Every structure is written in structure tokens, then in C-alpha cells.
Structure 1
Amino acid sequence: MIRIMFVCLGNICRSPMAEAIARAKINEKGLEDKIHVGSSGTGNWHIGRRPHEGTLEILEKKGIDHANLSGSQTKSADFYEWDYFIAMDSSNEHHLINLKPDDSQAVIERLLSYHPSTGLSEVPDPYFTGNFIEVYDLIERSISKLIEEVIQLHVSS
């Protein structure tokens, strides 16, 4: 089982959106027994809370299940349970690098590294911009590429 954790600042906008999109794509491919996804935030402000209303609205509009999404915070112990930590921006990535224990084999990447043709290196935070549609599109395209890579590296071999 490959485990992928999506990480943003508060775990109410970008990372839960990524978790829900990834889970839907994994389920469509019938790989839910091979790839598990989750999400967390670098901050502790929203632990136990549901995602932002804008995130829920766009997921609902796209027909993506969001029933089990709840805020949590990334901890150093997570690096022994998850294989990939996918950061939404450089701040999240640096936080993860500093939090990761030296003996962990977990991979830390930025989500948009899986879709460089966007010309962006960071997923904008819709909590501040309000642009949930643009963020959804960026996340959705990048996750498709991420899942393809994970399948090639871990599932189809």
C-alpha cells in the first residue's frame, strides 16, 4: 500500500481538496486497495474542522465526495507512516523538510512539480485569493500526473 499525504497551511482549502480529488481518481481506477491518501496542515488552527466552504462547494459542484474530510496537523511521526508528502507551496515544503526525521524514507515534493507546464511552482491559497476554481483545476491536473507516476513506480511492477 502506497500512502500519499497532501499538505497545506491550515488543512481547510488546498490539501483536503487534493485528498478528495485523488481519492476519487484512485477509486475510478479501482486502486483503493493499493493507494491511500490523506491530508494535513502545517498549522494547528483547524484540527477537527471541516474544510472551507469554498472547497466544499467546488467539490460538490464537481461531484466529488467530501464527507470524511477533517482538519489535522502534520507530525514528525507521520513520516514513518506515509510514503509521499505532497506540499502545496514552498513554505509547506520547507516546514516538511524541517519536520522530517533523518531516518525517514518518505519523499517530499511540491504538487506542481508533477505538472510543470502550468508555469507555476506553487498552488495559490484560495483562503486568501478566493479563487477556488483555479486552484481546483491546478490540483486536478497535477494529481492525474502524480497518480500516473505512482502507478508506474509502485503498482504496475
Structure 2
Amino acid sequence: MKPQQILFVCLGNICRSPMAEYVFRHHVKQAGLGGTISVASAGTSGWHDGENMHKGTQKALAAHGINHSGFTSSKVKPDDHRRFDFIIAMDDNNLAELERLFGRQPEKIFKLTDLIPESGYNHVPDPWYTGDFEETFRLVDVGSVALLDKLAG
């Protein structure tokens, strides 16, 4: 497998995208691919730059045995479309903002739920609003497995 750089993106970079970053990193490590796949996350808003991830995200990750240390929220950067092989949005608004910034590139910039159409979801629900961090975790986990399969395939 050739080296891949993956960026997960949500609005504030404190709930969904850091959860996806850490869950996917966990799957990558379990698959023995830590040297070939690097993972990061960012937000489209920058509202929480420099902050830690949401406590609910921390709790969900810890409940599944995933280390959540070392995180700092950041905003999407203008050169991210050059730095990352895949930029994966959590919902339509995130995708629209990424396409506004980087142009439409469906082979490179897409929603995580595009990889799991059988989930019945067309976006990863934001637990900031739903309060359901476990459902977000479940979708991110299934989407991470599908992404790993895509990269391996």
C-alpha cells in the first residue's frame, strides 16, 4: 500500500472529526499500517482552534479503549487539498465548504457516509446537537473500516 494522508473534517473539530481521526488511527494501527497511513482532522469554522476535543468524544473513545491524548483542534488550511490524499467530510455542509475551498473533487473529497450507504445515513450526526456520542462512534467506526478497505483495495 502506498503512503496515504487522510484528513477528517467537521464543523468545529471537537466532536465528529477528532472521533474519526482517533478511531481510524486505531484501525490503522490494528492493521499494522501505521507507517503507511497518517491521519489528522480539522474543522471548517475554526471556532474551537486550540481546544481539546469535546468531553463526550473523549468519553466515547475511552469507552472503546481508544487513547484520545494529544489532540488540539484546528481549522482547515488553504493547502490541505495538496497535503492530503483524501479529505473526508462528516456532512453536506462540511462537504460544500470543502468544495468551495478546493473545488469539486469527488474522488478525493467526499462524505464518510458515502462509504457506508447501507448505514441508512447520508451524514454523520453531530453529537454536539444530538447528544448521542455512541451513535456517532458507531457510524465513524463502520466508516473507518470501509475507508481502510477502500485504501487497501
Normalising by the smaller structure, the TM-score range is over 0.9
Tell me the distance in 1 between the aligned counterparts of 2:27 and 2:106.
Answer: 25
Tell me the distance in 2 between the aligned counterparts of 1:78 and 1:119.
Answer: 30
Deviation at residue 78 of structure 1 after TM alignment: 1.0
Tell me the distance in 1 between the aligned counterparts of 2:86 and 2:95.
Answer: 12
SS in 1 for 2:88: strand
Equivalent position of 2:115 in the other structure: 114
CA RMSD of aligned residues (A): 1.6
Contact 1:2 1:34 survives alignment (8 Å):
yes
Sequence identity, in percent? 38
Equivalent position of 2:21 in the other structure: 19
Tell me the distance in 2 between the aligned counterparts of 1:41 and 1:72.
Answer: 6
* Structure 2 portions without partners, runs of 5+: none
Contact 1:112 1:121 survives alignment (8 Å):
yes
Deviation at residue 48 of structure 1 after TM alignment: 1.1
SS in 1 for 2:79: helix
Equivalent position of 2:79 in the other structure: 77
Q: Which amino acid in the other structure matches residue 110 of structure 2?
A: E
Map 1:41-52 onto structure 2 (within 5 A): 41-52=43-54
Tell me the distance in 1 between the aligned counterparts of 2:53 and 2:135.
Answer: 17
Q: State yes or no: 1:128 paired with 2:105.
A: no
Map 1:31-50 onto structure 2 (within 5 A): 31-50=33-52
TM-score using structure 2 length: 0.94
Decide whether aligned partners of structure 1 residues 69 and 112 sit closer, same or farther in structure 2, where only a CA change above 3 A counts. same
Aligned length: 151
Tell me the distance in 1 between the aligned counterparts of 2:35 and 2:26.
Answer: 13
Q: Which amino acid in the other structure matches residue 151 of structure 2?
A: V
Equivalent position of 1:155 in the other structure: none
Equivalent position of 1:95 in the other structure: 97
Deviation at residue 68 of structure 1 after TM alignment: 1.7
Q: Which amino acid in the other structure matches residue 138 of structure 2?
A: D
Tell me the distance in 2 between the aligned counterparts of 1:115 and 1:131.
Answer: 19
TM-score using structure 1 length: 0.92
Q: State yes or no: 1:148 paired with 2:111.
A: no
Q: Which amino acid in the other structure matches residue 53 of structure 1?
A: K
Deviation at residue 101 of structure 1 after TM alignment: 5.8
Tell me the distance in 1 between the aligned counterparts of 2:103 and 2:10.
Answer: 19
